[in-house]
Homo-oligomer: A and B are copies of this chain.
Amino acid sequence: MFLDESTAETRYLQLAETLAEAIRRGTLQPGSRVPSVRRCAQSHSVSINTVVAAYRMLEDRGLIEARPQSGFYVRSTLPALKAASPPSDRIEKPADDVLALIDTVFAAQQNPAFTNLSLACPQTADFYPGGKLGRMLASQLRRQPDLIGQYALPPGSLRLRQQIARRGMALGMLLEPGDVVLTHGCMEALQLALRATTKPGDCVGLESPTYFYLLPLLASLGLKALEIPTDPQHGLSLDALELLLDEKRLNAVIAMPTVQNPLGCTMPLAAKKRLARLMNDHQVPLIEDGLYAEIQFGGVLEPAVKAFDHGGWVLFCSSFTKTLAPDFRIGWMAGGRFSDALRKLKAVSSMAESQLLSETLATFLASGGYDHHLRNLRKRYAAQVDEARAIIARHFPRGTRATQPAGGFVFWVEFPHGVDCVQLFHQLLDEHICLTPGMLYSPSGRYRNGLRLSCCYPFNERYRQALARVGARACAMSGLPAGIASGG
């Protein structure tokens, strides 16, 4: 029975991949009708159920859409980005004025008068099961009113660490509760991971573009950043990485191999395995930021690099802040051979996490409600990413390129030359629209024409119009006509 099910699962995944490839190559054109379920089942010699499962997966990923009484159609897509950066060998120290720009972005972000298109911080509670969590928190308070008056000591809630260890299996990781260190969000996990594996003056390899907060974080620890070319589709260039590792120029690497921020891409499975092998062979720690690893659009979760980490050189960091309970700010890490050092570092850095919040989270995870919630979240984000891409296709200047995210709610746009995104950012601030300029995502300040867009906001008219305004401004700046789908 189990074997049969497993085969059926493989079959629908294969079919979905074949169809996705046909869409990417243009064999199936945007707007065209996808073969009917019956015809597809015949031509691929699979069951009707397999086709239905494959189509549902493509729909989840935003590649096709159902139209009532008419069948499935290929959605309009955008030209994919190619890795533009040549292998970098410059070592850059992050500029401090990037922080000033971030401050401006943050100030606008927290001002309700601004429409936010960029930051990956959902400010809308309806993306989260806040009501349910609130009731569980209230019930936890009734059950253990004494928790408020108890000093939380490391390693913190065993129940939560058990739940986290169990969930690790879905990403291919075999964790013990004792491996899990609770942290104050993923940011603290990354900070501790860097402190446990490097010393000031060391050089850390980063994706390019990368999560922008890493740059001031590295600077604050006296670390140098080295950008590694990163393909918008396949992630970190492993050839470039291997070269740098062979030359012993990296003391650690920090990367998001699954649903990268800001690109949205996920490394192919084979690349993840190679990455794990490379790091273990060279005995250089990989800090794997898995913040969005549970919001993948594909039907089955792709495993983490940590799943292939035989020597303990991968430190997996994650959090529930982007997926379940932003305000709880509870993150965690599994630190491989650095576990012991991390536990001690956490204790002297900020001691422990709130037991009240940890226990509430543990109860929610144990209740099984998390998976249900994640399914809805993935679907919603996939639809919003797709809608945002459709607006971009209509309003952004010809020659604009965008990534096709594998999950999460951010993706990356590159304008044709002539559009300066820092200038665009300042222009749009006047219209109370907030963007994050692409140069924030690179220690060397490249990507002047890049932009991260975020779809973690409710898609109302205000959001749609703001997005269209970005396009109009960019068209005016570049002198190019709107409508990039036509010019693909």
Contact = CB atoms under 8 A, between A and B. Distances in A.
A150 B350 contact: no
A350 B182 CA distance: 12
A99 B151 CA distance: 19
A352 B325 contact: no
Contacts of A353: 329
B200 A153 contact: no
A327 B149 contact: yes
A125 B141 contact: no
A148 B222 contact: no
A149 B137 contact: no
A148 B326 contact: yes
Interface in A149-167: 149-154
A99 B148 CA distance: 27
A122 B149 contact: yes
A74 interface: no
A188 interface: yes
Contacts of A151: 121-123, 321-322, 326-327
A481 interface: no
What band does the interface of chain A fall in when counting residues whose beta carbon is under 8 Å from B? 35 or more
B216 A351 contact: no
B187 A200 contact: no
Count chain B CB atoms within 10 A of each CB in A217, A325, A345, A350 and give the residue with the most.
A350
Contact of A350 (B109, B188, B325): B188
Given A195-B220, A199-B222, A220-B195, A147 B327 contact: yes
A350 B185 contact: yes
A427 to B, nearest CB: 24
Given A329-B352, A344-B99, A349-B188, A125 B148 contact: yes
Given A124-B149, A126-B149, A213 B348 contact: yes
Contacts of A124: 146, 149-150
Given A141-B137, A354-B327, A106 B154 contact: yes
Contact of A349 (B147, B220, B327): B220
Interface string A345-372: 1011111111111000000000000000
Contacts of A83: none
A150 B200 contact: no
B199 A149 contact: no
A255 to B, nearest CB: 18
Nearest to A107: B153
A184 interface: yes
Interface stretch (A128-136, A267-275, A399-407): A128-136
A110 interface: yes
A488 interface: no
Nearest to A128: B149
A145 interface: yes
A27 to B, nearest CB: 41
A328 interface: yes
A138 interface: yes
A216 B326 contact: no
A191 interface: yes
A206 B354 CA distance: 29
A377 B217 CA distance: 40
A187 B152 CA distance: 13
A213 B153 CA distance: 13
A316 interface: no
A220 B187 CA distance: 18
A154 B106 CA distance: 8
- List of 8 A-B pairs having minimum Cβ-Cβ separation, nearest first: A125-B149, A125-B146, A128-B149, A121-B151, A188-B350, A130-B148, A151-B326, A184-B350
21 contacts: A99-B344, A109-B153, A122-B150, A122-B151, A124-B146, A125-B147, A125-B149, A131-B145, A134-B145, A138-B141, A147-B327, A148-B325, A151-B326, A191-B348, A191-B350, A199-B200, A200-B222, A216-B348, A220-B344, A329-B353, A357-B357
Given A151-B322, A188-B351, A329-B353, 18 more contacts: A99-B344, A124-B149, A125-B147, A130-B146, A130-B148, A148-B327, A150-B326, A150-B327, A152-B326, A152-B327, A184-B188, A188-B349, A213-B348, A216-B344, A216-B348, A217-B348, A220-B349, A354-B357
